[in-house]
Amino acid sequence: ELVGPPGTVIPTRCYHLVETRVVNLFGSIFNASQLGVDVWDPNSPVTGCEGNGETAVISLSPGLIASNTYAFRIDIVNPPSQTSSNFWTMTLLDHFAKPIPSFPLWAFPEISVSTFARNSAPSCYLGDCVGAGGIAIPIQLQLRTQNTVKTGGELRILAPLEFGFDPDDAPLIQGD
């Protein structure tokens, strides 16, 4: 049994979200061995995973060797905010591991979304209309990161269901 910090969400059917192949976890068997991680025996696969909130019950086939060091990854949804109890716990055959510290969440402590228009209702000025008949109202997104981003990456923005993004290649505006 694996239990995440409060607020963690592990999908109910999580079997396909568990990864044990060291090549996929560390890039190569050599990299894993340099970190002291043993290869997970392919004859002892994960046979199931059932999630319930922050708990996952992962079923294993027999065959893992005592005193070997194994690694696995499970894809989860992080809690919406950092909790004071930021630890994972793991139980195997009634043996409890010491709590495992989790990583600090990367969050946006200051974020705001506003429209460029003074009102959010459909309006027209000199024949140009916004917000009516599926025409977009431009928004401004301001945020401050909690951590310094040292590598390239991407920022994913998920809009509420009734909103959408312009699928056309819109021209960049100041700040893009």
pTM, to two decimals: 0.61
28-53 mean pLDDT: 93
∠98-100-106 over CA atoms, to 5°? 165
**pLDDT score, position 114:** 75
How far is 75 from 91, CA to CA, in rounded Å? 19
Alpha helices in the chain (DSSP H): 22-26, 29-34
What three-state secondary structure class fits 146? coil
Pairwise pLDDT comparison (49 vs 106), residue with the higher score: 49
Residue 121: name the closest of 132, 112, 113 by CA.
Answer: 132
Pairwise pLDDT comparison (15 vs 142), residue with the higher score: 15
Query: What mean pLDDT value characterizes the chain?
Result: 81
Lowest mean pLDDT among 5-19, 138-152, 153-167: 153-167
Q: What is the pLDDT of residues 128-159, one digit of tens each?
A: 665 555 556 667 778 877 777 777 767 777 77
User: Sorting pLDDT into bands at 50, 70 and 90, what band is 176?
Assistant: very low
Q: DSSP secondary-structure letter at 25?
A: H
154-167 mean pLDDT: 69
Evaluate whether 18 touches 60 at the Cβ level (below 8 Å).
no
- Buried residues in 141-164 as b, exposed as e (16+ CB within 10 A): eeeeeeeeeeeeeeeeeeeeeeee
